[in-house]
Amino acid sequence: MNEEDITEPFLLKLQETIAANPDINVSKLAVDAGLSNSAIRLMLAKNKSPTIKTARKICAALGTTLEVFMSQAQSEEEREIVDLASRLPVALRQKLLGYGQGLLEQSGLPPAKSGEEH
């Protein structure tokens, strides 16, 4: 399977990360994640996304969380917000969302429409 055959979102993001960082060795990353040294290479070759548990291990070996890794966050501040929200229990996440919506209203900016990206 060629690189352009990869369609699974996690694998696409992983492939981009590996390509952007010459210090990342696919086999070593797999071992650092507690996987066999060929596990990631096989996932990429077969275009088969890992389980959530395995994806979390790979992300931990990359020094991040699955939530931050898969988010569209661009800046360090956005990644920190995603990480913070992902670690909160549901009830506190709802409070954080309400607080954010209140801040948006106070700013005078129009609220984002459901599903709208910023």
For residue range 54-113, what is the model confidence (pLDDT) as tens digits? 999 999 999 999 988 988 777 888 888 888 888 899 999 899 989 988 888 888 887 766
Domains within the chain, CATH numbers bracketed: 3-70 (1.10.260.40), 76-107 (no CATH)
For residue range 30-62, what is the model confidence (pLDDT) as tens digits? 999 999 989 999 999 999 999 999 999 999 999
pLDDT for res 118: 46
pLDDT for res 83: 84
pTM of this structure: 0.69
CA atoms within 13 A on the CB side of 3: 6
pLDDT for res 92: 92
pLDDT for res 1: 44
